[in-house]
Amino acid sequence: MSSLVKCPHCGLRPREEFTIRGEVATPRPHAGADEGTWFDHVYLRDNPRGQHREYWHHSGGCRRWLVLDRNTVTHETGDVVDASTLKTEGQA
């Protein structure tokens, strides 16, 4: 994995400054959704081979939640955006 991550707010920063939370899950289900839907949302992950979107927290810098595009085969990282942009995408 690249040891430098481009935070959209702080610029190039070492990977040690970040905490990785994991895959960006599907949009949060409706509060009244059935148990199976919630189980899927909370516990089941695709673990894809290839392009992958993950939540990264810039805990040692701006402390913003970020969404990072990463290839799980090559470990190349692509776009990094502030997680608040997911709201406008309707995926928060």
Partner 1 sequence: MRDFLLNNVSPFPAKADANGHAAVHIAPIATGFVTHVLGKGNAKADAAHLTKLISDIAPELGATLRSPSPGQWFWVGDCDVSQGRFAEISGQIPGEYAISDQTHGRVRIMISGPQVRDVLAKGAMIDLADGVFVVGASAMTQIGHIGAMITRTDDDCFEIMVLRSFAVSLWHELHQMAAEFNGPHAG
Q: Do residues 82 and 59 lie in contact, with contact meaning Cβ atoms separated by under 8 Å?
A: no
Q: Is 10 in the site for Zn ion (CB under 5 A)?
A: yes
Stretch that binds partner 1, among 34-42, 43-51, 56-64, 72-80 (CB under 8 A): 56-64
Cα 26 to Cα 62: distance, rounded to the nearest angstrom:
26
Of 61, 65, 72, 81, which one interacts with partner 1 (CB under 8 A)? 61
CB of 2 to partner 1, least distance (A): 14
Stretch that binds partner 1, among 21-29, 46-54, 59-67, 73-81 (CB under 8 A): 59-67
Cα 57 to Cα 35: distance, rounded to the nearest angstrom:
29
Of 28, 63, 87, 89, which one interacts with partner 1 (CB under 8 A)? 63
Q: Is 73 left (phi over 0), alpha (psi -120 to 50) or beta?
A: alpha
Cα 91 to Cα 85: distance, rounded to the nearest angstrom:
9
**Contact positions toward Zn ion, by CB under 5 A?**
7, 9-10, 58, 61-62
